[in-house]
Amino acid sequence: MSRRPAAGTLVVAAAQVAPVWLDRARTVAKVVRWISRAADRGAGLVAFGEALVPGYPWWIEHTDGARFNSPVQKALHAHYLEQAVDLEAGDLDSVCSVARRRKIAVALGTIERPRDRGGHSAYCSLVYVAPNGEIASVHRKLMPTYEERLSWATGDGHGLVTHRLGRFTVGALNCWENWMPLARTALYAQGEDLHVASWPGNDYNTRDVTRFAAREGRSYVVAASALMRRRDIPDSVPHAATLRRALPPVMGNGGSCIAGPDGEWIVPPVTGREALVVREITHRRVLEERQNFDAMGHYGRPDVLQLTVDRRRQRRSEEHTSELQSRLHLVCRLLLEKK
């Protein structure tokens, strides 16, 4: 067991692991084990890669994924939905349980099948589990990138929120959302000073934007990437043999890393292996770097520039009842009770 962090510090971890690809239950079990490993190292926060549970849809790019009415693509998509995360069904209960037991926050990339959108579409959702084991937010990716749009639906702003963790304020975004200036600004405006960037894998994604976002936000940035190799394709996946022939030996080489609020590396990108990247960070460094730049504070100009964020959860249907209708319902109910 590691020592308890000093006041104003936090131990953060990026768990760079390969999923048991397209197998929700076994991948969740692996996530639980790595959460415990991070807690054993004294971590108060552990972050995982984008879409880790049950995995990123690597097949689309390499198997003619845009072919309309392809039986292969339909079979793979159906399997993907079957293995996606249903939060209402308790698919992440074991993650919440270990977070509560070990008192550690978890940022976990998932593919979600939300019932409030009918339950038959996939959303790339970044789930934040608080140290008390409660799911504090679910951020559905605003805009899937390139071939992801053949599999994932577009999200909303409901999860563009931050969470207090000790002296830090934590926010998180999925993959190329980290390149979206207004998405970053929506988190800066809430006092974010510890940013989680969740990626499916590959250091070519993390090596530039991680340092840039850290320097712009004068925040710590923890970039958590997954791994994915041809050998990680299990026999349980439909057309597994076809996929092994079509996909390259390595699809995601990792790239997990940590940058400080000055934009310099604390841990440069780690590639080619499963790893738990752990470091202790100090909140005072944020205060030091914001002496010369604070995007939402002394360097902000809200009289000139403002951002409007719609954080309503988009649902398949909404019921709106006018005040007059409500009063009429009440009168009718009272009249019936008198009879």
Checking phi first, is residue 238 left (phi over 0); if not, alpha (psi -120 to 50) or beta?
A: beta
C-alpha 48/C-alpha 42 separation (Å) is: 17
H/E stretch holding 196 reads strand 194-199
Q: Where are the beta strands (DSSP E) in 59-140?
A: 105-112, 123-129, 135-140
Give the list of residues 6+ apart from residue 74 with CB closer than 8 angstroms, or none.
Answer: none
Known catalytic residue at 64: no
User: Does residue 114 contact residue 48 with C-beta atoms inside 8 Å?
Assistant: no
Which of 116, 232, 235, 262 is labelled catalytic? 235
Strands 275-282 and 265-271: unpaired
DSSP state, 300? -
* Closest-CA residue to 262 (of 321, 230, 218): 218
Rounded to 5°, the CA angle 78-22-222 comes to: 125
Separation CA 129–CA 94 (nearest Å):
11
Q: Strands 163-165, 168-174: parallel, antiparallel or unpaired by DSSP?
A: antiparallel
Residue with tokens 């006092």: 191
Q: Which two tokens stand for residue 263?
A: 């934009």
Q: What is the DSSP letter of 115?
A: G
Burial readout 170-182 (b: 16 or more C-beta within 10 A, e: otherwise): bbbbbbbbbbeee
What whole-number distance in Å separates Cα of residue 70 and Cα of residue 59?
Answer: 13
Calculate Rg over the CA atoms of the chain: 22
- Tokens 């009770």 belong to residue: 337
Do 284 and 8 meet the contact criterion of CB atoms below 8 Å apart?
yes
- For the annotated catalytic residues, the residue numbers are 235
